[in-house]
Structure 1
Amino acid sequence: MEVQAPPGTTIGHVLQTWHPFLPKFSIQDADRQTILRVVGPCWTCGCGTDTNFEVKTPDESRSVGRISKQWGGLLREALTDADDFGLQFPLDLDVRVKAVLLGATFLIDYMFFEKRGGAGPSAITS
C-alpha cells in the first residue's frame, strides 16, 4: 500500500511480508527502505480481549509500539462492523512514519476485521 500526503506525494509504503503463521508488514519510507516492522498474532480473533500488532525495529529485536484492535463488547462485535483501534509509537518518530503507521492501521482493519458481503454501496440496488 502506498501512503501519500498531500495526495500525489508518496511518503511511505506498507508492504505485507510472507510468514507461514503470522501477519507481518514492513513500514517503508518513500525510498522503500524498511524503517519498522509490524508483527501480528497468529490468531486475529481476540474474543473478549484486545488484538495487538506489535510495532518493532527493522530486525524485530525489540518492540517500539503497538497497533491494537480494542475489544468493543460482545453485542457491538456481533451486531456491528464498528471497530476501535489504538496506535502507540515513539514520540520522536518522524511525522511521515507516523502517517504510514496510521495507513497500516487502516490496512489491518480492512484485511482482518471488516466483514465480507455486507450491505455496502455495491450491494444496494434500486
Structure 2
Amino acid sequence: MNHVDVHSPAFGPLGRILQQSEGCRTAFVGCDASGTVVFKIQGGNICCNFSLFGGNVVYEVLSADGSTKIGAIEKVWSGIGAEYFTDADVYSLSFPMDLHVKAKALLMAAAFLI
C-alpha cells in the first residue's frame, strides 16, 4: 500500500494519506496525526490516472463518513501530446475556505500521491 506522511516545520506531524485498493477504483484516506480519518478521496472507475478519451479525471473529496462531498482533486487534461509523450501533469484542487489548514495540507499531499 502506498502512503505519504505529511509533516510541517511549524506543526510537526500533520497526518498521512493512505492509498487503498478497491479493484479498478482509486481510493485514498486522509488521516490526522492521531490516525483519525479526516476525509476520503474516491477516483473514477478507471485503472489508471488518465482518461482514455480525453477530458479531466476527477477525484471526489468526501467527509470522513463518505456521505458529503467537500472538495475535489482534478487531473487536468493537457492534450494528447502532453499526456502521452511527457511525464508532466497538472492538478487542480478545490476545497472550502473554512477547511482546517492541516486538512488543506493533507489534500495537497494527496495530489502528489495521486
Fold similarity call, TM over 0.5: yes
| Larger relative contact order, structure 1 or 2 (CA cutoff 8 Å, min sep 6) | 2
**CA distance in 1: counterparts of 2:108 and 2:34, whole angstroms:** 18
**CA distance in 1: counterparts of 2:81 and 2:106, whole angstroms:** 32
**Bigger Rg, which one:** 1
Q: Kindly, what percent of the aligned residue pairs are identical?
A: 34
- Alignment partner, residue 114 of structure 1: none
TM-score, normalisation: structure 1: 0.79
Aligned residue-pair number: 108
Report 1:23-62 matches (<5 A). Answer: 23-43=26-46, 44-46=49-51, 47-62=53-68
Report the more deviating stretch, 11-20 or 90-99: 11-20
**CA distance in 2: counterparts of 1:13 and 1:70, whole angstroms:** 24
Give the gaps of 5 or more residues in structure 2: none
Higher strand share: 2
AA in 1 matched with 2:80: L
**CA distance in 1: counterparts of 2:18 and 2:86, whole angstroms:** 29
Higher helix share: 1
Q: 71, 84, 98: which is aligned to 1:92? A: 98
TM-score, normalisation: structure 2: 0.87
4+ residue segments displaced more than 3 Å: none
Indicate the RMSD between aligned Cα atoms, in angstroms.
1.6
> Are 1:106 and 2:109 an aligned pair?
no
